[in-house]
């Protein structure tokens, strides 16, 4: 379904929900895929969301909806739902989705739900909840299709036909007598071998697996590097705990991309300003970087004060400070972003520091030379002040060169110190470049202006 | 394999390549997965890359390597390779990978390769090359496992066993007499039904498919929304052209995330500064946004000139301009990023404009109030100038409020005008806020200072 189709569906559902047209709405919901109903949720008001949810007749669809919405929408949907009904819907989910939903539930509801779960289901959920939510254990599903290595292909196919509880089968995992993971078989290979062949002859040994505590970002890197549909999670004795499937990996990659982008401008990824009382929370989360900008700004003012007399004598000096520090901030942010990305993609290491800095410095100086000349000529023609123009031009050149060094060196230095280079945000780099820029600007311009007197 | 293991492998390969230790290197390469060899490439110097490539004995691995490296590394690897050998390696690839590699080859080599390809292979490659590289057609693989709807499950399993050319099978696609796509069957469903059941009784009808010209980002959204392993690409008569598989979708999602992040700071996604002659190209690509910053900066200087006399009389005025426009730029960038992300994730539409702007304005004003007060108190205590302090504080409050409005309104307005909101980059927002900020700053502060005289 294209985005346009989605939008017209949103419109229809919305209109019917608003009119309270129960029968037509239920009919449409019946005919619509669960994923498409879920996609309409962010566009509906809370009351509309609940109205739609109440009129979904198919349990699978209702369960899918709960599994797909975020924390706020989930709290809204389950607000008026009897806990017994919620447990029914949770039963219809795969246990990894079930765990995720339970983890997002408001605490009072969560406790009542846990008490009502069947014992083995509750134990599985509790085990999954024990792993950090951004680890392999936190995103795995415990149900995996597994057999002993001595089973034959025929037995495997039979087992596959009878395994109702494993919803989607990606690979068949092969275990030895000790329950250790020793191999993997694709469904297709199961079919292309004589039925009596034992699995240990069909399987690919030397399976790539991940430990349960591995960070989800690393898990996604492995799945994507080897083009896997799923990767097994094993404990320290190589016993299979579960699998992380490619659809969860896609969610991880998207999540991390949003997180990185938000981090870059100093915003928390789950900016809560859309929630009730969220404005305050949101302001609190953005406080830190703005405080750094503020402190930096005050320092800039204090530094500028050192040249107070020059500014008083020649006020034009003040007007060109913003462009010099602005250009420096831009070049610094660009160098930092390129370096942070290079590190994240695994292309750059601390040892590459000289090469990267040298490359960014050349780009920065080249651009600084061009724009410095341009600005020098502008100042000269506009104000008839050659030396002031040269001063501004030279300051821009120096600021851009310094910005390129700073922006590329800091992320690599942070990585060497084992700090996530992604903390080098745009606000941080621009603030730093403001300070460096103001020093460069006033030193260079006043020195050159002095020549004319 | 964890990142640490990868790094130690890179080290080993590098050391052997440098020493020219042919035999040990070939042995290690023999034992290393193709994907892992490919992952070492970005860390090797061009000569080392060629040395490693020459000593890969397994054709599959060599082919995989070519399919995984970028344009620059590819040109380097094939530099000394006889064209006949290159064609051999291309033959070992799936046709979508083959096409991608051919598209990236230097033009003279590409032509010689095309001339040497077998006729039907060449035709397939030419057909794929005809689609835009970021469309469904451009990323699909034409080989899909397909059968007529009257075939039985038994026949399908037989066909699957004999289909040597379709490397990885995700789904079985079902066609009618006219060759139109009418259904889809999972491999598992093939096994769970009596062998004589015709496919049209097993298949899921109403298949979600995409047209070949659909943008790859939209394709990735569909695959991710429905948790597909592959999505069929069909022409206007619903004839199956090929499939886009989940591993290619992961590449698209990663690519788009990098692209968005780079765009945000005004850098082209394939920043070429690492390539020979790349510094110049890289500088050229970053030119645009810096030019906007420069023009904005000159306008700021021209506007500041309007208050030249005030600055001359009270030079301290100049020192606090950077912090006011800096804070405005930060708040504006944050509001813009949150809004652009909300649109990209499908959470925000132009109709939400008032809600979003109101939310951001409250966050902006709240922060502005806090920081404005802080700064006012600072200026008052430090310089004993109450009204100047109040002016700076009020200017920050106004600038941050204006920034919140501007940052959130522009992406939504662009979306309504059907322009990609992602063009609202950080350099653009900060430049705009520089201009707004300088006007607000000087108007407010001079007005308040005037009260004291």
How much is the pLDDT for B101? 92
CA distance B115 to B345: 45
pTM above 0.95, yes or no: no
Long-range residue pairs from A109-117, CB within 8 A, at least 24 positions apart, any chain: A109/A78, A109/A83, A112/A83, A113/A83, A113/A86, A113/A87, A116/A83, A116/A84, A116/A87, A117/A87, A117/A90
Distances (CA, A) of A279 to A271, A290, B363, B368, B374: 9, 16, 6, 13, 20
How much is the pLDDT for A131? 92
Chain segment A389-414, per-residue pLDDT in tens: 899 999 999 999 999 999 988 888 88
Strand order through the sheet with A171-175: A146-148, A171-175, A181-186
Task: Answer whether A261's CB lies under 8 Å from B260's CB.
Answer: yes
Of A251, A266, A298, the CB nearest to B323: A298
Task: Answer whether A311's CB lies under 8 Å from B315's CB.
Answer: yes
Of A36, A329, A359, the CB nearest to B279: A359
Checking phi first, is residue A277 left (phi over 0); if not, alpha (psi -120 to 50) or beta?
Answer: left
Mean pLDDT of chain B: 86
CA distance A410 to B301: 31
How far does Cα B131 stand from its chain's mean position?
A: 19
For the ranges A70-84, B156-170, B183-197, which has the lowest average pLDDT? B156-170
Contacts of A117 (CB under 8 A, 6+ apart): A87, A90, A125
Of A168, A222, A293, the CB nearest to B330: A293
Checking phi first, is residue B346 left (phi over 0); if not, alpha (psi -120 to 50) or beta?
Answer: left
Task: Answer whether A153's CB lies under 8 Å from A193's CB.
Answer: yes
Asked if B371's CB is within 8 angstroms of A225's CB, the reply is: no
CA distance B404 to A116: 47
Question: What residues of B are in contact with residue A18 (Cβ under 8 Å)?
Answer: none
β-strand partners of B173? B146, B184
| Residue in the block written with tokens 């010689």 | B112
Q: What is the mean pLDDT of residues A118-123?
A: 87
Task: List, as one string, the DSSP characters of A177-205.
Answer: TTSBEEEEEEHHHHHHS-TT-BHHHHSB-
Task: Answer whether A72's CB lies under 8 Å from A275's CB.
Answer: yes
Chain segment B72-107, per-residue pLDDT in tens: 888 889 988 999 999 999 988 888 889 989 998 988
Q: In this complex, is the C-beta atom of A331 within 8 Å of any C-beta atom belonging to chain B?
A: yes
Asked if B324's CB is within 8 angstroms of A301's CB, the reply is: no
Query: B160 pLDDT exceeds 90?
Result: no
Helix axes A426-452, A278-305, angle to 10 degrees: 20
Q: In this complex, is the C-beta atom of A431 within 8 Å of any C-beta atom belonging to chain B?
A: yes
How far does Cα B428 stand from its chain's mean position?
A: 20
Nearest C-alpha in A relative to B260? A261
Asked if B320's CB is within 8 angstroms of A294's CB, the reply is: no
CA distance A101 to A105: 6
Asked if B254's CB is within 8 angstroms of A254's CB, the reply is: no
Q: Name residues 367-386 of chain B within 8 A of A (Cβ).
A: 367, 370-371, 374-375, 378
Of A161, A225, A258, the CB nearest to B192: A161
Long-range residue pairs from A99-106, CB within 8 A, at least 24 positions apart, any chain: A99/A124, A99/A125, A99/A128, A99/A129, A100/A67, A101/A66, A101/A67, A101/A74, A102/A129, A103/A129, A103/A133, A104/A70, A104/A71, A104/A74, A105/A74, A105/A75, A105/A78, A106/A75, A106/A78
Mean pLDDT of chain A: 86
- How many contacts does A have with B, using Cβ atoms within 8 A? 327
Q: In this complex, is the C-beta atom of A284 within 8 Å of any C-beta atom belonging to chain B?
A: no
Helix axes A95-104, A119-129, angle to 10 degrees: 70
Minimal C-alpha gap between B198 and chain A (Å): 18
How much is the pLDDT for B417? 82
Chain segment B234-293, per-residue pLDDT in tens: 999 999 999 999 999 998 998 888 887 787 777 776 665 555 567 888 888 788 878 888
Q: In this complex, is the C-beta atom of B285 within 8 Å of any C-beta atom belonging to chain A?
A: no
Question: What residues of B are in contact with residue A271 (Cβ under 8 Å)?
Answer: 338
How much is the pLDDT for A184? 94
Of all residues in chain B, what percent carry a pLDDT higher than 70? 94
CA distance A417 to A406: 16
Q: What is the mean pLDDT of residues B337-354?
A: 76
Of all residues in chain A, what percent carry a pLDDT higher than 70? 94
Q: In this complex, is the C-beta atom of B280 within 8 Å of any C-beta atom belonging to chain A?
A: yes
| Residue in the block written with tokens 């590098």 | B14
pLDDT category at A274 given cuts 50, 70, 90 is low
Classify strands B171-175 and B146-148 as parallel, antiparallel or unpaired. parallel
Q: What is the mean pLDDT of residues B185-196?
A: 85
Query: B1 pLDDT exceeds 70?
Result: no
Of B187, B261, B323, the CB nearest to A337: B261
Helix (H, G, I), strand (E, B) or coil at B184: strand
Question: What residues of B are in contact with residue A315 (Cβ under 8 Å)?
Answer: 308-309, 311-312, 315, 318
Specify the DSSP class assigned to residue A141: B
H helices of A270-320, in order, are 278-305, 308-313, 316-319
Checking phi first, is residue B418 left (phi over 0); if not, alpha (psi -120 to 50) or beta?
Answer: left
Of B262, B311, B427, the CB nearest to A315: B311
Task: Answer whether A432's CB lies under 8 Å from A296's CB.
Answer: yes
Question: What residues of B are in contact with residue A165 (Cβ under 8 Å)?
Answer: none
| Residue in the block written with tokens 């659909």 | B214
Q: In this complex, is the C-beta atom of B227 within 8 Å of any C-beta atom belonging to chain A?
A: yes
Phi, psi of B370 (to 5 degrees): -60, -55
Specify the DSSP class assigned to residue A229: S
Asked if A249's CB is within 8 angstroms of B250's CB, the reply is: yes
Q: What is the mean pLDDT of residues A122-148?
A: 90
Helix (H, G, I), strand (E, B) or coil at A291: helix
Helix (H, G, I), strand (E, B) or coil at A238: coil
Q: In this complex, is the C-beta atom of B195 within 8 Å of any C-beta atom belonging to chain A?
A: no
Chain segment B384-435, per-residue pLDDT in tens: 888 888 999 999 999 999 999 999 888 888 888 888 777 767 888 888 889 9
pLDDT category at A102 given cuts 50, 70, 90 is very high
How much is the pLDDT for B279? 80
Asked if A222's CB is within 8 angstroms of B1's CB, the reply is: yes
How much is the pLDDT for A70? 80
How far does Cα A438 stand from its chain's mean position?
A: 35
Nearest C-alpha in B relative to A338? B262
Better pLDDT: B218 or A71? B218
How much is the pLDDT for A437? 92
Asked if A253's CB is within 8 angstroms of B337's CB, the reply is: no
Of A280-294, B213-227, B257-271, B439-453, highest mean pLDDT: B213-227
Chain segment B281-325, per-residue pLDDT in tens: 888 878 887 888 889 989 999 999 999 889 988 888 888 999 999
How much is the pLDDT for B148? 95
How much is the pLDDT for A277? 61
CA distance A295 to A312: 24
Asked if B33's CB is within 8 angstroms of A337's CB, the reply is: no
How much is the pLDDT for B166? 55
Query: B34 pLDDT exceeds 90?
Result: no
Query: B439 pLDDT exceeds 90?
Result: yes
Helix (H, G, I), strand (E, B) or coil at A174: strand
Q: What is the mean pLDDT of residues A124-147?
A: 90
The tokens of A1 are what?
Answer: 């379904």
Query: A275 pLDDT exceeds 60?
Result: no
Of B42, B168, B333, the CB nearest to A265: B333
Asked if A192's CB is within 8 angstroms of B327's CB, the reply is: no
Question: What residues of B are in contact with residue A254 (Cβ under 8 Å)?
Answer: 224, 253, 257
Task: Answer whether A210's CB lies under 8 Å from A219's CB.
Answer: yes
Q: In this complex, is the C-beta atom of A234 within 8 Å of any C-beta atom belonging to chain B?
A: no
b/e per residue B370-380 (b: at least 16 CB within 10 A): bbbeebbebbb
CA distance B30 to B12: 14
Query: A1 pLDDT exceeds 50?
Result: no
Of A192, A214, A254, the CB nearest to B253: A254
Question: What residues of A are in contact with residue B250 (Cβ under 8 Å)?
Answer: 223-224, 246, 249-250, 253
Query: B3 pLDDT exceeds 60?
Result: no
Q: What is the mean pLDDT of residues A47-61?
A: 88
Helix (H, G, I), strand (E, B) or coil at A2: coil
Asked if A157's CB is within 8 angstroms of B191's CB, the reply is: yes
Nearest C-alpha in B relative to A169? B188
Q: What is the mean pLDDT of residues B119-145?
A: 89
How much is the pLDDT for B398? 93
Asked if B426's CB is within 8 angstroms of A265's CB, the reply is: yes
pLDDT category at A167 given cuts 50, 70, 90 is low
Minimal C-alpha gap between B9 and chain A (Å): 14
Reported ipTM: the value is 0.81
Minimal C-alpha gap between A54 and chain B (Å): 22
Q: Name residues 10-49 of chain B within 8 A of A (Cβ).
A: 33, 35-36, 39, 42-43
Question: What residues of A are in contact with residue B244 (Cβ under 8 Å)?
Answer: none
Specify the DSSP class assigned to residue B245: E
CA distance B62 to B86: 10
Q: What share of chain B is helix, strand, coil (3-state, %, to 5)?
A: 70, 10, 25
Asked if B320's CB is within 8 angstroms of A297's CB, the reply is: yes
Q: What is the mean pLDDT of residues B186-190?
A: 84
Strand order through the sheet with B171-175: B146-148, B171-175, B181-186
Of A273, A333, A349, the CB nearest to B363: A273
β-strand partners of B230? B245
Burial environment of residue A293 by CB neighbours within 10 A (0 to 12, 13 to 18, 19 or more): buried
Q: Name residues 86-145 of chain A within 8 A of B (Cβ).
A: none
Q: In this complex, is the C-beta atom of B172 within 8 Å of any C-beta atom belonging to chain A?
A: no
Distances (CA, A) of B82 to A210, B26, B61, B85, B410: 40, 20, 18, 5, 54
Q: What is the mean pLDDT of residues A208-212?
A: 94
Q: In whole angstroms, how large is the CA radius of gyration of chain A?
A: 30
Of A258, A315, A426, the CB nearest to B265: A426
Of A39, A267, A367, the CB nearest to B346: A39
The tokens of B163 are what?
Answer: 């289909």
Contacts of A327 (CB under 8 A, 6+ apart): A368, A371, A396, A399, A400, A403, B290, B293, B294, B297
Q: What is the mean pLDDT of residues A283-311?
A: 88
CA distance B347 to A204: 43
Asked if B330's CB is within 8 angstroms of A320's CB, the reply is: no
Asked if B363's CB is within 8 angstroms of A282's CB, the reply is: yes
Classify strands B171-175 and B181-186 as parallel, antiparallel or unpaired. antiparallel
Comparing CA positions, the residue from B111, B71, B44 lying closest to residue B281 is: B71
């Amino acid at each position: 379904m294209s985005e346009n189709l989605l939008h017209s569906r949103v419109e229809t559902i919305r209109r019917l929900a608003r009119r309270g047209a129960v029968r037509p709405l239920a009919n449409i919901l019946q005919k619509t895929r669960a994923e498409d109903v879920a996609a309409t949720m962010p566009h509906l008001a809370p009351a509309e969301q609940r109205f739609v949810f109440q009129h979904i007749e198919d349990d699978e669809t209702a369960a899918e909806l709960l599994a797909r919405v975020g924390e706020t929408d989930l709290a809204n949907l389950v607000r008026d739902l009897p806990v017994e009904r919620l447990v029914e819907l949770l039963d219809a989910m795969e246990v990894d989705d079930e765990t995720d939903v339970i983890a997002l539930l408001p605490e009072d509801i969560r406790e009542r739900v846990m008490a009502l779960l069947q014992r083995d289901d509750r134990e599985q959920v509790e085990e999954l909840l024990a792993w950090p939510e951004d680890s392999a254990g936190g995103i795995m599903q415990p149900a995996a299709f597994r057999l002993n290595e001595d089973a034959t292909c025929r037995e495997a196919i039979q087992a596959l036909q009878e395994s109702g509880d494993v919803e989607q089968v990606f690979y068949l995992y092969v275990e030895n007598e000790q329950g250790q993971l020793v191999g993997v078989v694709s469904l297709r290979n199961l079919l292309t071998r004589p039925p009596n062949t034992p699995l240990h002859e069909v399987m690919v040994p030397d399976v790539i697996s991940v430990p349960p505590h591995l960070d989800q970002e690393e898990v996604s890197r492995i799945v994507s590097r080897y083009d896997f549909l799923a990767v097994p999670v094993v404990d320290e004795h190589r016993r299979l705990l579960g699998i992380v499937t490619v659809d969860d990996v896609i969610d991880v990659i998207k999540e991390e991309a949003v997180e990185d982008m938000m981090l870059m401008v100093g915003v928390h990824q789950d900016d809560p300003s859309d929630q009730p009382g969220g404005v305050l929370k949101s302001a609190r989360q953005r406080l830190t970087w703005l405080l750094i900008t503020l402190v930096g700004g005050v320092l800039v003012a204090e530094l500028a004060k050192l040249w107070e007399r020059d500014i008083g004598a020649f006020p034009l000096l003040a007007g060109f400070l913003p462009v010099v520090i602005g250009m420096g901030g831009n070049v610094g942010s660009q160098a930092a972003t390129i370096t942070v990305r290079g590190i994240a993609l695994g292309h750059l290491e601390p040892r590459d520091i000289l090469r990267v800095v040298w490359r960014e410095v050349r780009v920065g100086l080249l651009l600084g030379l061009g724009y410095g000349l341009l600005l020098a000529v502008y100042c000269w023609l506009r104000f008839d002040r050659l030396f002031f123009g040269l001063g501004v031009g030279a300051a821009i050149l120096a600021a851009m060169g310094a910005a390129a060094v700073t922006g590329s060196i800091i992320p690599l230095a942070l990585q060497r110190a084992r700090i996530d280079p992604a903390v080098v945000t745009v606000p941080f780099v621009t603030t730093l470049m403001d300070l460096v820029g103001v020093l460069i600007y006033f030193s260079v311009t006043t020195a050159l202006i002095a020549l004319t007197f």
